[in-house]
Amino acid sequence: MREEFRYIAPAPPRDTQAARTIAQAELQQLAAGIRTSATAAANALLKIQDPQGYWCGDLTADSTLESDYILLQLWLYPPEPDQPWHPPTWNRIRKAVRFILERQLSDGGWSIYEGGPSEINATARAYTAMKIAGEDSESPVMVRARSRVLSLGGLQASNSYTKMNFSLFGLYPRRYVPSVPPEILLVPGNLLYEMSSWTRTILVPLSIVQSIGSQHPVPQGLTVEELFVPGKRLTLPRRDRTSTIFNHADRLVKMWERRGIKDVRKTAVREAERWVLERLHYTDGLGAIYPAMMYTIMAMDALGYERDHPDLLDAIAQFDRLLLETEDRLQFQPCFSPVWDTAIAAFAMGEMPGGPVDAAAMTRAADWLLDREVRRKGDWSIKRPGLRPSGWAFEFANEYYPDIDDTAMVLLALQHAHASDPERQERVERRAIEWLLGMQSSDGGWAAFDVDNNWEFLNKVPFADHNAMLDPTCPDITGRVLEALCRRGFKTGDPPVQNAVRYLIANQKQDGSWYGRWGVNYIYGTFLAVRGLRASGDVSACPSIQRAAAWLQSIQNEDGGWGESCASYARHCYVPASSTPSQTAWALLGLSAANAGQSSAVYRGLRYLIGTQRPDGTWDEKLTTGTGFPNVFYLTYHLYRQYFPLLALATCNIGDN
């Protein structure tokens, strides 16, 4: 049955025996190069493994994190009347400003991904943060930034989160900012849990801040009125008839805030506080992500927590851990990625022909991963109350939010990484598989954190323009889960496999690609969908796999690599970019899974990886290839450029390799 997946490459032209001999020699040379390159890559990864057994590369994003950090400091340390603002974190603030300035583009703006154009929110927030920190508004840097904000539509064109943050300091009119009422926790039917997990962790503490946090002062005389386009109306987001209805509802909420029953609001705020505090147990901050952690600090301050309160101290300490700081610069990470990095690194080394180069390192990784299995029920259990908890989170500790994608990746890694206690490993794996099966959505796919999180109308609420209100199923996660299950013995006829295969076939794009929600973009989605379909052994998927292989070959760059821009999310189609090691590896993994491993496209791609590898076994990658919220927030995983090329080199079978 699996032989029907054989990729049908174009027939090569007839050649002479001499030509065939030369081709065979070149193939042997390439195979030797692959082995050498893969070994060097594996050794480079081993050098940076933590003694505890995990890998955790830097995870960085755009300048909005540093800009928001300055706003947070202004919240925590308001200026004294008639005094220059000089908080105790002033040295860090100046470092943040230097880093923001380093990211300014030639047109005066700031982008949200490497190589991208100026973006209104990043630019407005950078300008405002620098002005708060004392930058001269008439300096060339600030003049160019201000001009770029206005050319992008002014503050009126920014998204709800920019406006909400500014409104907390009177820099944007509150009446034109969406309200986030804490009463949402009191609505029957678990409405809150129909929103994505990350939206929940952001909105609940933000609702406290909006409800009881008084408008905080800014340095004397500071405004950003110059960022408003004159004559352009200030309105709530208005996209269609449904969003207009929600805007009317927002006006009612604001009326309720002024005239409603105060005891109800107090009850809602107490429930929001309880919700937040409960989710700070067994975790590295609320949701273990930057924005939720920032709003938690602000909420605790608004609630009157004294500065030496242990919960507030812990929240600030967890937030500060995200810092990447040197003597002269400061950069924030949106979160940590140790489980993700460890699982992919271990899987890549385990896939090497002959096995990993260091079995002891793999055992340390396995032991570390087993220790981080989730054993308590989290938000996901609202819809799956009878499901036994298991799985893995993305971060060091985030017990309420195990990640389906991470869980599948860990299961793949544990096929090769053998823990020091085999019986324990077997129990953990059995629980994780059971949890994955229980988290399959009704359409046959898998999402990141939840089941059937797809109420489309919620995308119309006024504060939904961060493009992440929901957590719907996606081909990339579904493909990875399908591969993980099938490698664990699930067969074509098993209902979870059948449903997942149907989902992937139904969601393939006309050109043969698949959308990638969590990596940029169609190359990422395609390689994972193909690997999942290939692992399933379902012959009905053969045409889809063939079309995907043809598409991957059609977009190969002249240098033999592959690259894709984050702009593909905005244009809803593949947008080419210069080749990157990670995206080249993804394309090669997709072609290899399609049994196109001995095609000229694969040979050229492998030569690209070998040729761009540095002497220390690593690769360089400048473009952004990770996705947070499409069109809003992108990620740079600094280890993607290391372990994905290793996985491709270890996986692609060119005959002699």
In a domain, 484, yes or no: no
Could you give the CA distance from residue 33 to residue 210 in angstroms, rounded to a whole number? 59
Residue 547 backbone dihedrals phi, psi, to 5 degrees: -65, -40
- Into how many domains does the chain fold? 1
Lowest mean pLDDT among 96-100, 110-114, 397-401, 597-601: 597-601
- Average pLDDT of the segment spanning 142-170: 96
Of the listed 367, 405, 443, 465, which one is catalytic?
405
637 against 212, higher pLDDT: 637
pLDDT at residue 171 is higher than 80: yes
For residue 396, what is the DSSP state? S
Quote the domain boundaries for residue 205.
Answer: 62-332
User: Which CATH number belongs to the domain containing residue 82 in this structure?
Assistant: 1.50.10.20
The pTM (predicted TM-score) of the whole model is 0.94
- Is there a domain that residue 20 lies in? no
Q: What is the C-alpha separation between 454 and 169, in angstroms, rounded?
A: 34
Examine residue 465 and state whether it is found in any structural domain, yes or no. Answer: no
pLDDT in tens, 561-584: 999 999 999 999 999 999 999 999
Would residue 106 count as lying in a domain?
yes
At what angle are helices 522-536 and 495-506 packed, to 10 degrees? 140
Report, as an integer, the average pLDDT of 209-223.
90
Residue 315 forms part of a structural domain: yes
1 pLDDT more than 70: no
Amino acid 462: pLDDT: 76
Which pLDDT does position 468 carry in this prediction? 84
Name the pLDDT band for 10 (thresholds 50, 70, 90): very low
Confidence of residue 221 (pLDDT cuts 50, 70, 90): confident
Q: How far apart are the first and last CA of the chain?
A: 25
Q: Answer yes or no: is 90 within a domain.
A: yes
Cα torsion 483, 489, 493, 494 to 10°: value is: -80
pLDDT at residue 15 greater than cutoff 60: no
> Considering the domain boundaries, does residue 393 fall inside one?
no
Q: Confirm whether 113 is domain-assigned.
A: yes
Give CA 502 to chain center in angstroms. 26
Respond yes or no: is residue 465 known to be catalytic: no
The DSSP code for 398 is B
DSSP per residue over 478-493, as a string?
HHHHHHHHHHTT--TT
Confidence of residue 598 (pLDDT cuts 50, 70, 90): confident
